[in-house]
Amino acid sequence: MMTAIPVTNYRIASGLGLVAIASFLFAYIQPPLYRAFCEWTGIYDVQKADEFRASATVGRPITMEFDANTHGTGLRFTALQTSLPMHTGELVQVNFRVENLSNHSITGQAVPSYGPKHAANFVKKLDCFCFRQQVFAPGEVRVMPVVFALDRNLPSDIGTVTLSYTFFEVPGGVGSSNNTGSAANGASTSGSGI
Amino acid sequence: MQASHDTHDHAHGDHGDHAHHGRAPGLMGWFTTTNHKDIGTMYLWFSFVMFLVGGAMSLVIRGELFAPGLQYVSPEFYNQMLTLHALIMVFGAIMPAFVGFANWMIPMMVGAPDMAFARMNNWSFWLLPPAAILLTGSLFVPGGAAGTGWTLYPPLSVQMGLGMDMAIFAVHILGMSSIMGSINIITTILNMRAPGMTLMRMPMFCWTWLVTAFLLIASMPILAGAVTMLLTDRHFGTSFFNAAGGGDPVLFQHIFWFFGHPEVYIIALPAFGVVSHVIPAFSRKHLFGYTSMVYAIAAIGLISFFVWAHHMYVTGIPLTGQLYFMYATLLIAVPTGVKVFNWITTMWRGELTFETPMLFALGFLFLFTVGGLTGLVLAITAVDIQLQDTYYVVAHFHYVMVAGALFSAYAGAYFWLPKWTGRMYDEALGKVHFWTSIVFFNVAFFPQHFLGLAGMPRRIPDYATQFTDFNAVSSIGAFGFGFSQLIFLWVVLKNIKGGEAAPVKPWDGATGLEWTLPSPVPYHTFEDPPVITEEHLAAAH
Ligand SMILES: [Cu+2]
């Protein structure tokens, strides 16, 4: 029954095999392509300072709440202020405190999230410790600021905005090969809801 | 009839070699066989066994959902059940079932003696049982099976235990098997057709499988790549999807659905193919619009690669992206509509009779269209944001997968069973199987549309009490449907044991080369290719 398989069959099969290998590799070029696409389209903007033009008067009153937590790191991370009455259009600074409880240095990256989710576009950060990775020496205690304002166009159904940060430990630390200082961009891509 | 003469001559003719007359005796024969009919049979039995295993899991799910509150299983186990149910049904039941049909029918339809690479065909099949063992066995390892849903989204899939690794390896193995199977199918179709069997004379089932096999070769490796990245994220410190290390969990969704949407058509296209044989046969007419069918299949296959993010409307993709994916998805309705139109027009003024294969094909036609319609509803971004991850989605894809693909597989099984076994099946039992299936199917899944519209989330073992009645109805339907499938087992076993001998062409309206062969088909067919002439093969269309 096993008559010789014609050469042309092998030619077709090896072509198809190459297609299969190419599509396997196609999956692997997605991470860099995806990053490039997000940067090009500006979706990846959570680690850049926002633009905000201050003016003499402020807008409506609003309550801002702050939350801090960590994800599997040896850090203790707290918000020094948990609630702040403020106004839209007003530039404020709040501080967060980090303590490295471990006996080795830890590289961490804070990732913001917002409640309600669609408030994200209206929180304008001029400076934030979350813009870059932070290295904490063993036992170090550091207080870090966030400078931000709420856009005056914040939808009127929002009375309270919660800003929450999660500190992730960056495997390998600053400068290791598999990160380029852009930890957790994706998590916030969805968080910042476009 | 010329072809069947050739075959007869051959079976007793010029080959002295014993191996020609059958596989080696006993179990070893099944392990070593390279005969496309044996391998097709093994695929079909394997898929039916997996169908029963996956079905049992769905009954655990529906049992738990019969009433609100937690009755029988823990939420963790519930999640494992729904994950394994999906993986087993998609990769273990539906896909292998149509590969089984492909193995049995394609060589006979194009006039080839066997698949192009008979030995590789054997490997493709024998990769499946280890994958099935990995999947089901993962229930018994510490931490249990993967509980992420079949989509295996990180971060959960990065965090789960050993069961997740087993699922990943199972996906690798199943992917290997499908790719080898697809290479075989494409090579057979492109290079092994009998003289005169031009591409545009080819039966529709071969066309659907040709496109499907290309989809498989292009998309399965992408899934393999995605789960390999998951694996290295889990164990080797990479951060493809690990947010803490600079990765992006949403990227996984993009890669997964870039595979996942073509996968839908990998399942649907062969189902279209089978129906395109059954409806003309029982309408006693040629398939209407053969050429437009071919172009529609190719169009569906092509567009399926450009619509993936309709599964991701709520991940925060930009509005322009949402609009693009919405319109692109709606576009698929055009070639699909062409197909449905052609099937209906095939029946128009035909001499219809309603034997079991035709009943299942009609069930397919009605209910697949319902599933397609709810798919269009879900494609609309504004609606999907409301319905995302509700039971409406569950109802939608079960109409496509069960009433679509499964019913089509049943139509094909009843249609070709007389050819395979050489005996007629019990028509009355077949009809009982159809009617119980279609009634219980709708009892099980139609109420889920309402549950979804009312906001019941999927993949949760408990629900708010206002959903109780519809869930109870749905569970009754699911159990009824599940047990109805045993009727099919009964029909097949009865058919294997005995029954009225089937003529060469049990369906007077059927066309195609396979109906020129004796029933049951000899172990080897078309060893010398038949020459296909126009009247000999009005067949194809
Ligand atoms: Cu899709």
Ligand 1 centroid from CA B527, angstroms: 42
Residue A8 predicted with pLDDT over 90: no
- B235–chain A Cβ distance below 8 A for any pair: no
DSSP class of A175:
T
Domain ranges of chain B: 39-537
CA distance B21 to chain A (A): 9
Residue count of chain B? 541
B374-404: pLDDT as tens digits: 999 999 999 999 999 999 999 999 999 999 9
Kindly determine whether residue B229 and residue A71, on different chains, have CB atoms separated by under 8 Å: no
Kindly determine whether residue B34 and residue A1, on different chains, have CB atoms separated by under 8 Å: yes
Ligand 1 centroid from CA B264, angstroms: 7
The strand pair at A61-71 and A83-87 is best described as: antiparallel
- B32–chain A Cβ distance below 8 A for any pair: no
CB A167 within 8 A of CB A75: yes
Ligand 1 centroid from CA B151, angstroms: 12
Closest A-chain CA to B227: A27
Three-state secondary structure call for residue B489: helix
Kindly determine whether residue B317 and residue A182, on different chains, have CB atoms separated by under 8 Å: no
pLDDT for A183: 37
Which of the four pLDDT bands, split at 50, 70 and 90, describes residue A39?
A: confident
B424-455: pLDDT as tens digits: 999 999 999 999 999 999 999 999 999 999 99
pTM summary value: 0.84
Ligand 1 centroid from CA B263, angstroms: 8
CA distance A36 to chain B (A): 12
Which residues of B are part of the catalytic machinery?
85, 114, 150, 177-178, 261, 263, 265, 276, 310-311, 336, 339, 458
Closest A-chain CA to B189: A9
Three-state secondary structure call for residue B114: coil
Distance of CA B125 to CAs B34, B300, B306, Å? Answer: 10, 27, 31
Domain ranges of chain A: 17-54, 59-186
Dihedral angle of Cα B262, B268, B270, B276, to the nearest 10 degrees: -140
Reference A182, options B483, B247, B249; nearest CA is: B247
CB-based burial, B35-51: b 16+ in 10 Å, e otherwise: bbbbbbbbbbebbbbbb
CB-based burial, B385-395: b 16+ in 10 Å, e otherwise: eebbebbbbbb
Cβ contacts (< 8 Å) between A178 and chain B: which residues? 237-239, 245-246
Q: Which helix (H) or strand (E) holds A66?
A: strand A61-71
Reference B241, options B254, B259, B224, B260; nearest CA is: B254
- B175–chain A Cβ distance below 8 A for any pair: no
* Spatial distance between the Cα atoms of B38 and B28, rounded to a whole number of angstroms: 13
Q: Which helix (H) or strand (E) holds B133?
A: helix B128-137
Which of the pair, A2 or B178, is modelled with greater confidence? Answer: B178
- B226–chain A Cβ distance below 8 A for any pair: yes
Residue A187 predicted with pLDDT over 50: no
- B183–chain A Cβ distance below 8 A for any pair: yes
* Spatial distance between the Cα atoms of B180 and B126, rounded to a whole number of angstroms: 12
Tokens of B307: 């619509």
Order the strands of the A123-128 sheet from edge to edge: A75-79, A91-100, A141-150, A123-128
Three-state secondary structure call for residue B353: coil
Cβ contacts (< 8 Å) between B318 and chain A: which residues? 41, 43, 194
Alpha helices in B318-355 (DSSP H): 319-331, 333-347
Cβ contacts (< 8 Å) between B305 and chain A: which residues? none
* Upstream peptide bond of B520 is cis (omega within 30 degrees of 0): yes
Closest A-chain CA to B245: A170
In SS3 terms, B403-432 reads as HHHHHHHHHHHHHHHHHHHCECCCHHHHHH
Tokens of B459: 């993949």
Reference A1, options B33, B180, B121, B29; nearest CA is: B33
CB A36 within 8 A of CB A114: no
Tokens of B504: 């060469």
Residue B149 backbone class (left: φ over 0; alpha: ψ -120 to 50; beta: rest): left
Cβ contacts (< 8 Å) between A193 and chain B: which residues? 316
In SS3 terms, B29-65 reads as HHHHCCCHHHHHHHHHHHHHHHHHHHHHHHHHHHHHC
* Upstream peptide bond of A6 is cis (omega within 30 degrees of 0): no
DSSP class of A158:
-
Kindly determine whether residue B315 and residue A187, on different chains, have CB atoms separated by under 8 Å: no
State the maximum Cα–Cα separation within chain A, in Å, rounded to a whole number.
91
Nearest by CB: B218 against A9, A23, A71: A23
The strand pair at A160-169 and A106-115 is best described as: antiparallel
**CA B470 from centre of chain:** 28
Specify the residue for token string 């046969």. B281
Cβ contacts (< 8 Å) between B247 and chain A: which residues? 31, 186
Tokens of B453: 């519209």
Tokens of A25: 């590799």
Q: What CATH number does the domain located at B39-537 have?
A: 1.20.210.10
Order the strands of the A134-136 sheet from edge to edge: A83-87, A61-71, A160-169, A106-115, A134-136
* Spatial distance between the Cα atoms of B73 and B85, rounded to a whole number of angstroms: 15
B274-284: pLDDT as tens digits: 999 999 999 99
Cβ contacts (< 8 Å) between A28 and chain B: which residues? 225, 229
Tokens of B15: 């080959």
Nearest by CB: A178 against B116, B192, B238: B238
Q: What CATH number does the domain located at A59-186 have?
A: 2.60.370.10
- B522–chain A Cβ distance below 8 A for any pair: no
A49-78: pLDDT as tens digits: 777 777 777 888 999 999 998 887 788 999
- B187–chain A Cβ distance below 8 A for any pair: yes
CB B158 within 8 A of CB B227: no
Torsions phi, psi of A79, nearest 5?
-90, 130
Which residues of chain B, if any, have pLDDT below 70? 1-21, 534-541
Kindly determine whether residue B244 and residue A191, on different chains, have CB atoms separated by under 8 Å: no
Closest B-chain CA to A166: B244
pLDDT for B19: 41
Per-state percent for chain A, helix, strand, coil, to nearest 5: 25, 35, 40
* Upstream peptide bond of B518 is cis (omega within 30 degrees of 0): no
Ligand 1 centroid from CA B394, angstroms: 13
- B117–chain A Cβ distance below 8 A for any pair: yes
* Spatial distance between the Cα atoms of B400 and B238, rounded to a whole number of angstroms: 37
Specify the residue for token string 């059954």. B278
Of the listed ranges A159-173, A179-193, B241-255, B279-293, the one predicted with least confidence:
A179-193
